[in-house]
Amino acid sequence: MSASISPLAPKFIPEVPPVPGVTFATAEAGVRYKNRTDVLLVSLAKGTTVAGVTTRSLCPSAPVEWCREALKKGKARGLVVNSGNANAFTGQKGRESTALTADIAAQALGCKPSEIFLASTGVIGEPLDATKFVGVLDEVAGRLAPGPWEGPARAIMTTDTFPKLATAQVPFGNTTVTLAGIAKGAGMIAPDMATMLSFVFTDAPIAAPVLQKLLSKLVVNSFNAVTVDGDTSTSDTLLLFATGAARAAGAPLVKDAADPVLRGFRKALKTLLGDLAEQVARDGEGARKLVRVNVTGAVSKRSARRIAFSIANSPLVKTAAAGEDANWGRVVMAVGKAGEPADRDRLAISFGPYRVAADGARDPDYDEDTVSAYMKGDVIDITVDIGLGKGSDRVLTCDLTKEYVAINGDYRS
Amino acid sequence: MSASISPLAPKFIPEVPPVPGVTFATAEAGVRYKNRTDVLLVSLAKGTTVAGVTTRSLCPSAPVEWCREALKKGKARGLVVNSGNANAFTGQKGRESTALTADIAAQALGCKPSEIFLASTGVIGEPLDATKFVGVLDEVAGRLAPGPWEGPARAIMTTDTFPKLATAQVPFGNTTVTLAGIAKGAGMIAPDMATMLSFVFTDAPIAAPVLQKLLSKLVVNSFNAVTVDGDTSTSDTLLLFATGAARAAGAPLVKDAADPVLRGFRKALKTLLGDLAEQVARDGEGARKLVRVNVTGAVSKRSARRIAFSIANSPLVKTAAAGEDANWGRVVMAVGKAGEPADRDRLAISFGPYRVAADGARDPDYDEDTVSAYMKGDVIDITVDIGLGKGSDRVLTCDLTKEYVAINGDYRS
């Protein structure tokens, strides 16, 4: 939607192959935007299993509540995503709208409404008129295809400046399976302009509880380790669908998370989720720099994460990154306010490979010119060693620029 | 320091009368700034008691550690404040610097170093050369005077755009006592450009433990209820000095916090602290609007405060305020991410007197034009009723503008 593509966008959009058992199409339903696709219908083969992770917000959107219910059965036949309206904070009307959307999609795909998954992103608080989907989803269902994947990735965008895709092919028993993922998100997360949505598809035959175990674990260091502005959407949704179509090629059905056949798959899924999450940070609203915050030497991983988020969410650290300023004083401040065990006189802070502070004071060998040159780069690594234990973690964020304020403040809704 | 005064500044600087037992003077020590005062020396009568509240940061500055130690005795004879250098994250050198400053001041005032209180604000991580104070404090001690108070208020400024003062005179037994307070703070709190410092003086005779009890209680709804950017300084310091000079006019010495003679004093101190805290929010870096976040109906005061801070620290709520956008969707988001008990379908949200959402959806009587007109004002009240209990709270903040990013990002240190 934005005029210019983020300077941090990947150099090219990856070629994503078809995933057996998955077909899709997009359309212009006119929910809010004009002259762009805003609805995605995905059809999933019979027997598709599903796992999901949704927002921790205590005020979730109607589609999030719908997905939570549908996830209990672990079976999926379809997915409908719309952009332009989040169907969040819409009360009883919102619930009716999700039910109607699921009904329409179930009819179009010939399945039960409870096998349809839903996600919406866009304006919050305005009722979503699901009757707009009546003819549209029928029409879309008539032209489902296994590609190209850029269509779905574009249809779900809001303030995103580039479509986000990732893929992998890995051995699975005696055959090979495919993974394909799309994501959207630019603010983390403006409820009326953004939200983090991601959908990953595979033809691997994996039972729903195993899928869920994999996803719940791997989200921790991917999507849950990214922040743009510390604001959590009412609509964040990550779904992982496994059609099982690879069984026809001899792939074994996996019912145990410890099954060694999963080894390559787990690794590929981890990489794919990390890739998509990084793309979200690279498309942070107004972002000009990707900032990786690394914390080592904390008393635990949990403590390291809290310190890392305290740094990554600090407006002063983020504006310093925008100003290409190796301002370790602000990093000390953010460590101090995290409320986690820290000893000022043991802290060490580096920007990239350059240590700027150690033992509670400026590093005497610190060379300002070298560090200044480093700060001009697209990617900034901030590393803090707490010096107390073995807990470490990393989170991704971006800088805070005037463009962020312009995107979120220069208008009247 | 800034070119233009905040549009939210009070219309006039209050006339603050002398406080018996308190004299002061300021000077240009050249710590960092040129052509402005940057050091304040306050002399306090024998018998002065003191109470204090300091930053919750786990990486406090050297002067904060010094004050914490000195507060244990509850006695004060002098205060030295410098701007330009925070003496924070300066290791052993920082500790030596505080000791040297206290020595110099104690010599100048004829008291023990442990009776000297210290505060520094400015750049973090650079050693503070206390030898700069050697001749200066002696010279300053030669021209101590009981006014005018604007001098001290200006000497402690960093990115503040106006000096912050407040005063009151209240009955105390059969006589009248005076309160005078100064404060500085603009980011809450950029460690290298800002910090929240406040010093309050009175001639009321009050024992140190009683002073401490009063201050600890009243800071909760004043300085601890203000945020500009959610960033906590390494140097935040609030000190309350009571010279006891009013005993000469017949004021009783108060040794019990329940003493009814304190009634008027407590109320006046509460108002004065609230006034100074609001001035800090009104001078928030880049602020164009004062935002008051009111939460009612939470399960407890503590819960109400957490929800209020989640709203007040949300970049999306703050940019919406800057854009004069009654974006209640972002308020719902901030409630949802607070992690406190909340039920989406019971929330009610108002901007000023106008209710925009209730029962989990937009208020059907909401009139956009009326609310838009309200959003153009200098002061925005956001009120959220959680609908679950009786806990309520209020915190103050300001909007997030491009000027905030410019102040904190448009430079290389």
Rounded CA separation A181/B177 (Å): 71
Q: What burial class does residue B142 get, using C-beta atoms within 10 Å of its C-beta: 0-12 exposed, 13-18 middle, 19+ buried?
A: exposed
Rounded CA separation B233/B24 (Å): 26
**Domain CATH for A137:** 3.60.70.12
Interface residue A397 vs chain B (CB under 8 A): no
Instruction: Report the number of distinct structural domains present in chain A.
Output: 2
CA B169 to each of CA A89, A95, A151, B16, B177: distance values in angstroms, whole numbers, following the listed order: 50, 59, 71, 10, 6
Which among B93, B187, B411 has the least Cβ separation from residue A316?
A: B187
Searching chain A, which residue's CA lies closest to the CA of residue B311?
A231
Q: Which amino acid is at A90?
A: T
Look at the block and give the residue holding tokens 């410890």: A258
Is B104 a residue whose pLDDT tops 80?
Answer: yes
Query: Using one digit for the tens of pLDDT, what is the confidence trace for A44-70?
Result: 999 999 999 998 888 889 999 999 999
Residues 369 to 388 of B: which have CB under 8 A from any A CB?
A: 372
Residues 30 to 59 of A: which have CB under 8 A from any B CB?
A: 55-59
Domain end residue (candidates: A233, A256, A282): A282
Q: Collapse the DSSP code of A43 into the 3-class scheme (helix H, G, I; strand E, B; otherwise coil) and give the result.
A: strand
CA distance A124 to chain B (A): 5
Interface residue A398 vs chain B (CB under 8 A): no
Interface residue B124 vs chain A (CB under 8 A): yes
Residues of chain A with C-beta less than 8 angstroms from the C-beta of B411: 323, 325
Query: Using one digit for the tens of pLDDT, what is the confidence trace for A209-252?
Result: 999 999 999 999 999 888 777 677 788 899 999 999 999 999 99
DSSP for A346-412 reads: G-EEEETTEEEEETTEE-TT--HHHHHHHHTSSEEEEEEE-SSSSEEEEEEEE---HHHHHHHHSS-
Look at the block and give the residue holding tokens 């001035």: B279
pLDDT band at B148 (very low <50, low <70, confident <90, very high): very high
Domain end residue (candidates: B265, B282, B299): B282
Q: What is the pLDDT of residue A194?
A: 52
Is A268 a residue whose pLDDT tops 60?
Answer: yes
Mean pLDDT over each residue of chain A, to the nearest integer: 91
Which among A60, A316, A334 has the least Cβ separation from residue B408?
A: A316
Searching chain B, which residue's CA lies closest to the CA of residue A58?
B336
pLDDT band at A296 (very low <50, low <70, confident <90, very high): very high
Rounded CA separation B309/A106 (Å): 43
A330–B360 CB contact, under 8 Å: no
Same domain, residue pair A247 and A342: no
A341–B58 CB contact, under 8 Å: yes
Searching chain B, which residue's CA lies closest to the CA of residue A90?
B361
A336–B234 CB contact, under 8 Å: yes
Same domain, residue pair B241 and B168: yes
Is A193 a residue whose pLDDT tops 60?
Answer: no
Residues of chain B with C-beta less than 8 angstroms from the C-beta of A233: 333
Same domain, residue pair B213 and B260: yes
Q: How many pairs of residues across A and B have Cβ atoms under 8 Å apart?
A: 249
Searching chain A, which residue's CA lies closest to the CA of residue B94?
A361
What is the average per-residue pLDDT within A269-294?
93
Q: What is the pLDDT of residue B153?
A: 97
Same domain, residue pair A353 and A369: yes
CA A216 to each of CA A61, A95, A248: distance values in angstroms, whole numbers, following the listed order: 20, 26, 28
Residues of chain B with C-beta less than 8 angstroms from the C-beta of A359: 91
Is position A317 within any domain? yes
Active site residues of A: 195
Q: What is the pLDDT of residue A21?
A: 98
Q: Which amino acid is at B280?
A: V
Q: What is the pLDDT of residue A333?
A: 87
pLDDT band at A187 (very low <50, low <70, confident <90, very high): low
Mutate: best of B58, B346, B386, partner A, most A CBs <10 A: B58
Residues of chain B with C-beta less than 8 angstroms from the C-beta of A341: 58
Domain end residue (candidates: B234, B261, B282): B282
Is position A6 within any domain? no
B231–A333 CB contact, under 8 Å: yes
Query: Using one digit for the tens of pLDDT, what is the confidence trace for B162-205?
Result: 999 999 999 999 999 999 999 998 764 433 445 789 999 999 99
A342–B315 CB contact, under 8 Å: no
Is B412 a residue whose pLDDT tops 70?
Answer: no
Residue A48 vs residue A281, higher pLDDT: A48
Is position A328 within any domain? yes
What is the average per-residue pLDDT within B388-394?
96
Percent of chain B residues past pLDDT 70, beyond the cut: 96
Residues of chain A with C-beta less than 8 angstroms from the C-beta of B408: 315-316, 319-320, 323
Q: What is the pLDDT of residue B413?
A: 41
CA A370 to each of CA A208, A248, A348, A375: distance values in angstroms, whole numbers, following the listed order: 51, 58, 18, 9
Which among A60, A342, A409 has the least Cβ separation from residue B58?
A: A342
Percent of chain A residues past pLDDT 70, beyond the cut: 96
pLDDT band at A90 (very low <50, low <70, confident <90, very high): confident
Same domain, residue pair A248 and A266: yes
Rounded CA separation A249/B334 (Å): 48
In the structure encoding, which two tokens stand for residue A68, read together?
């939570």
Percent of chain A residues past pLDDT 90, beyond the cut: 72
> Lowest mean pLDDT: which of A176-185, A275-284, B122-131?
B122-131
pLDDT band at A350 (very low <50, low <70, confident <90, very high): very high
Rounded CA separation B231/B396 (Å): 14
Is A192 a residue whose pLDDT tops 60?
Answer: no
CA A141 to each of CA A52, A118, A136, A154, A327: distance values in angstroms, whole numbers, following the listed order: 24, 16, 9, 18, 54
pLDDT band at A260 (very low <50, low <70, confident <90, very high): very high
B329–A192 CB contact, under 8 Å: yes
Look at the block and give the residue holding tokens 């010093």: B199
Is position A13 within any domain? no
Interface residue B232 vs chain A (CB under 8 A): yes
A89–B357 CB contact, under 8 Å: yes
CA B119 to each of CA A293, B63, B216, B217: distance values in angstroms, whole numbers, following the listed order: 31, 5, 19, 22
Same domain, residue pair A257 and A147: yes
Same domain, residue pair A347 and A272: no
Q: Which amino acid is at A31?
A: V
pLDDT band at A147 (very low <50, low <70, confident <90, very high): very high
CA B231 to each of CA A310, A330, B115, B207, B225: distance values in angstroms, whole numbers, following the listed order: 9, 9, 31, 33, 13
A408–B192 CB contact, under 8 Å: no
Same domain, residue pair A224 and A300: no
- Rg of chain A over Cα atoms, rounded to whole angstroms, equals 22
Interface residue B350 vs chain A (CB under 8 A): no
> Lowest mean pLDDT: which of A126-135, A212-221, B63-72, B373-382?
A126-135
Is A165 a residue whose pLDDT tops 80?
Answer: yes
Percent of chain B residues past pLDDT 90, beyond the cut: 73
Which among A89, A327, A347 has the least Cβ separation from residue B329?
A: A89
| DSSP strand pairing (A175-184 vs A164-172) | antiparallel
What is the H or E stretch that residue A291 is in?
strand A290-298
Same domain, residue pair B191 and B229: yes
Residues of chain B with C-beta less than 8 angstroms from the C-beta of A231: 314-316, 330, 333-334, 337
Residues 194 to 213 of A: which have CB under 8 A from any B CB?
A: none
**Exposure string (b/e) for B231-241, b if CB count within 10 Å is 16 or more?**
bbbbbbbbbbb
From the list B55, B121, B195, B232, the catalytic residue is: B195
CA distance A167 to chain B (A): 31
Rounded CA separation A236/A326 (Å): 33
B325–A411 CB contact, under 8 Å: yes
What is the average per-residue pLDDT within A193-208?
89
Is position A29 within any domain? yes
Interface residue A89 vs chain B (CB under 8 A): yes
Q: What is the pLDDT of residue A225?
A: 87
Rounded CA separation A78/A161 (Å): 27
Q: Specify whether the CB–CB gap between A224 and B328 falls below 8 A.
A: no
* DSSP structure class, residue A21: T
Interface residue B402 vs chain A (CB under 8 A): yes
Is B381 a residue whose pLDDT tops 80?
Answer: yes
Is B311 a residue whose pLDDT tops 90?
Answer: yes
Same domain, residue pair B208 and B324: no
Same domain, residue pair B166 and B310: no
**Domain CATH for B351:** 3.10.20.340
Which among A189, A230, A322 has the least Cβ separation from residue B405?
A: A322
Q: What is the pLDDT of residue B192?
A: 41
What is the average per-residue pLDDT within B128-132?
91
Residues of chain A with C-beta less than 8 angstroms from the C-beta of B405: 319, 322, 400-402, 404-405
In the structure encoding, which two tokens stand for residue B376, read together?
């153009």
CA distance B96 to chain A (A): 13
Mutate: best of A68, A97, A231, partner B, most B CBs <10 A: A231
Residue B310 vs residue A123, higher pLDDT: B310
Q: What is the pLDDT of residue B411?
A: 54
Please state the ipTM of this predicted complex: 0.81
Domain range spanning residue B44? 22-282
What is the average per-residue pLDDT within B332-350?
91
Residues 161 to 200 of A: which have CB under 8 A from any B CB?
A: 187, 189-192
B345–A405 CB contact, under 8 Å: no
In the structure encoding, which two tokens stand for residue A351, read together?
């920007």
Is position A108 within any domain? yes
Backbone dihedral region for residue A324 (phi beyond 0: left; psi -120 to 50: alpha; all else: beta): left
Mutate: best of B343, B344, B346, B401, partner A, most A CBs <10 A: B344
Q: What is the pLDDT of residue B124?
A: 81
A411–B323 CB contact, under 8 Å: yes
pLDDT band at B126 (very low <50, low <70, confident <90, very high): confident
Rounded CA separation A315/B189 (Å): 10
What is the average per-residue pLDDT within A336-361?
91
Which among A91, A229, A408 has the least Cβ separation from residue B360?
A: A91
Rounded CA separation B129/B29 (Å): 11
Query: Using one digit for the tens of pLDDT, what is the confidence trace for B234-252?
Result: 888 999 999 999 999 999 9
Is position A81 within any domain? yes
Is B79 a residue whose pLDDT tops 70?
Answer: yes
Residues of chain B with C-beta less than 8 angstroms from the C-beta of A234: 332-333, 336
Is position B234 within any domain? yes
Same domain, residue pair A255 and A301: no
